Structure 1
Amino acid sequence: MAVSLQKMTLADFLAWEAHQPERHECFRGKTFARVGGTARHNRVILNLASRIGDHLDGTGCQVFAQSMKVQVADGVLYPDVMVTCGKAQAGDEQIVTDPRLIVEVLFPSTRGYDKRDKFVAYRTLASLREYVLIDPAKRQVEVFTLVDAGAWLLTDQSTAGVLSLTSIDCQLSMESVFKGVESQAQ
């Protein structure tokens, strides 16, 4: 679980975090140190970013992984993988305000935070069309797709052979999503 450090304004947070060696999130006025991940967690993030990036080549969309911030109504968060559209070339931006797709790769200590609090925050973004939760140890894949204003459809794709990301018209084999990743011993 992330540990609350202190309450500060968004401007104060951005100035403070620029000088920190670790990443932090600012949510509802509180600042949280982010926990490190595992090799399994990182491998899934890299697999997704690489394959989504290949899919987006030549489009007006870009994929980012781990170190890009997303500004939400109540703060700044770091998604594991996100896609933003409308600008084909990356510049010196540090914050994205218009992600179309956000993927969180679950870590045991932050699972509840990603499933509840982060999803509530991300849903405030008018641009967001899809939110994906991936548990790499259990190979569980849940995809939330915006179907109507404010209505999200959950599709459990855990047993599917393909991860379907309709927001970016992308199909990825589950084999490629979990390539190089051990499943958790049962």
Structure 2
Amino acid sequence: MIAQPKYISPQDDQLIMSPTEYLAWESVQDSRHEYENGRIFAMTGGTVPHSQIPANLSALLIPHLRGKGCKVSVNDAKVTIRSGKYYYPDVVVSCDERDRFSRDFLQYPTLIAEVLSPTTEARDRGIKQQNYMLIDTLQTYILINSERPRIEIYQRLDLGWEYLSIAIEQTNFDHDDPLIHITSIDLQFPLSALYENIDFFDSEQI
């Protein structure tokens, strides 16, 4: 997600909501909240690169998937896990007919991408990744670093998940621009396309 989730309670610290109560409550809120084990997590604002990266990824996904019956959503579409958890991925793709008329949440994603930041990385690599991988239809889970050019891709195989990490040491693409291949949707693009219009600080500038 774009920023650090903080546990909140609409009424008191002991309040535990049911999934149905959460969906009704969330539908009238001005900001977004994730739901996990009866508790609500408020999503706060993030950096410009954290916002730009999902936009860049969606710009690659939408034309590639046009005409294939796939939905591409950025930031505002909830994904539900079978156990009753609800998350807002940075990018989610569903190509499943069962999600065609979905309005409140998606249940059958093919691809989920999260953009990492210091405040979200532990959850994105931890509990959220574990829960996402319980979704039977999920074929690809992507983690994208917002502070350095690095992408990590988990792709489902028959017996588990294949892991691939691609990164470059320099913060520009003049000499090295590796090709990324997302096999589940047969999409290829240079790493630079994911980081278009993003300028990184050199270590001595930080």
**TM-score interval (norm. to shorter):** over 0.9
* Contact persistence 2:35–2:41 (CA under 8 A): yes
Query: Is 1:113 matched up with 2:116?
Result: no
- 1:1-186 equivalence runs, <5 A: 1-6=4-9, 7-72=16-81, 73-87=83-97, 91=101, 93-149=103-159, 151-159=160-168, 161-186=178-203
Do the aligned partners of 2:96 and 2:109 also contact (CA within 8 Å) in 1?
no
Unaligned runs of 5+ in 1: none
SS of equivalent to 1:154: strand
- For the 8 Å contact 1:25–1:32, the answer to whether it is kept is yes
- State the match for 2:12 in structure 1: none
AA of the residue aligned to 1:27: E
5+ long unaligned stretches in structure 2: 10-15, 169-176
How far apart are the structure 2 equivalents of 1:103 and 1:148? 21
**More strand per residue: 1 or 2?**
1
| Superposed displacement of residue 3, structure 1 | 1.2
Question: Could you say what secondary structure the match of 1:168 adopts?
Answer: coil
The residue type paired with residue 118 of structure 2 is P
CA distance in 2 between counterparts of 1:11 and 1:170 reads 37
Q: Which amino acid is 2:119 matched to?
A: S
Taking structure 1 as the reference length, what is the TM-score of the superposition? 0.93
Identical-pair percentage: 30
Partner of 1:145, secondary structure, is strand
Give yes or no for contact 1:74–1:121 (8 Å, CA) kept in 2: no
- Conservation of the 8 A alpha-carbon contact between 2:6 and 2:42: yes
Whole-Å separation in 1 of the counterparts to 2:155 and 2:42: 29
The CA RMSD over aligned residues, in Å, is 1.8
Q: Distance in 2 between matches of 1:184 and 1:109?
A: 19
Aligned partners of 1:137 and 1:182 also within 8 Å: no
CA distance in 2, matches of 1:129, 1:90: 18
Partner Cα distance (2:37, 2:180) in 1? 32
* TM superposition score normalised by structure 2: 0.84
Q: How many residues align?
A: 185
Letter in structure 1 aligned against 2:108: D
1:11-45 CA deviation, whole Å, 9 max, x = no partner? 01101111111100001221100121211111111
Amino acid at match of 1:107: S
